[in-house]
Structure 1
Amino acid sequence: MSKLLGAVALAMAASAANAQTVYNTSLAPLNTATATTTTGATGTQTSSSAPSNARDTASAGNGVWFQSDVGGGATVGITTDYAHDGNGSALFETTGTSAKADLEFLFAQPLALSDLTSISYDYYRDASSTTMATLAPVMRLDISKDGLWAGSLVFENYYQQGGNAVVGDWTTVTATLDSGVIWATNSALGPKNAAADGGEKTFAEWLAGNSGHDLTVTGMSVGVGSGWTGSFKGAVDDVNVNFANGPHASYNFEVASVPEPASWAMMLGGFGLVGGMMRRRRSAIRFA
């Protein structure tokens, strides 16, 4: 059974969210000199062979999930590898310190951070992962300050429980405006990178530290990597975000049905039979 972190009220809020299914077929192809997107029976995934810190990002659009910052030998996609709440989930793999991969979502319009009521996501860490035992996929909110890009506020499992990530089981991580430990990627918001001098705060505390300024949420992402030694393999599903004035959304990653090889053979055989019948009918027509 998944280990639940947070209050029961958060789970109730998440269940009331507007559930949206994100299919693998909705991911835009990302094909460059260093990134390749493929779709097969298990789903869609994008893999990168980019060296060092080179990154590739799929075409971005408001209101859709897309592959972002994929590089250094990482893989991201929506597959059946770790089925959860359906037949699929968002797959993440890294192979070394240069690897990085996200799935990102841009809101149609900026949302006031002060209106945030809760966020949550489910993660899975495969036992084959060799990176630090504390590491698991994270969730980020992209922040603008007075209309200017100000980095991201990062929500991850480690700072909530202060221990190793759960292995081989799905785990739900939750936070509200006033609960949960969040850190910043940019000093425009305050102490960054979970600094010991006040870099671990609730969303409400980040707002208080930027009093007099307008903090808005322009997008969100889930992802792995960037400096992770060793390898990681795991997944994310059921990403929830709730704002007082909307949206109240829950995103479930699934794989669209793909016929099995035997089914494809039957379908092709059927098409051939229909074609043969049509040819025979045409040959039987005679004109006076």
Structure 2
Amino acid sequence: MGYANAATWSGVLSGFLEVTNSYFFNPGDERVLVVTTLTALSDLTNLAFARSVDPDSGTTTSENQRGNSTLGIDDFVGSESVANGRTLALVNIDNGGYENTTAIWNTCCSNNNPYNILGHTGGDLGLTSTGDHSLNLAYRIGDLSAGSSATFKYAYAAGLGLDDIVIPPPSGAVPEPATWAMMIGGFALIGGTLRRRRTTLSFA
């Protein structure tokens, strides 16, 4: 399956890590596929990545849940607005062989620490919540040597209801897009340490 629209953003964090996000979508689709590649420019240890989103639609209050009728709690976290019923979800598509999980967090609008999300510590609200809370998806990459890369895929998705959000299984490499479009917004946070200096890295 090809994609009619796409955008790519790349940046370098403190000279130690290159981050590339590629976004793919078709007209009428209720999802945007995101392919994230992390490339180590120096030897890194305990690398982790998190995506956080504030799901407000018409109100700051939403019904939030991990997992739905077809996707497990580590691969799906979604919200439904109490004002208009609109939905938004973060869905793991292909974790690239790395550990991943989701979380509902008690803060609505900030980048959350990926280690807290992976460990379900701090502001984790469990499987469901009602309120102005954030949706989070995190990956544990671990050690990454200089020149090595880690790639994983996830999606922003919508539907008539949270149980209507169904993501097809990954189909291999992402085809080249036909045209380029604007990149969608979002928050990400990356944590890691340098083997030589043991310095914590973060990216927003």
Same fold (TM over 0.5): no
The structure where helix makes up a greater share of residues is 1
Greater relative contact order: 1 or 2 (C-alpha under 8 angstroms, separation 6 or more)? 2
Please state which band the TM-score falls in when normalised by the shorter chain. Answer: 0.3 to 0.5
When normalised by structure 1's length, the TM-score is: 0.32
Rg comparison, structure with higher value: 1
When normalised by structure 2's length, the TM-score is: 0.41
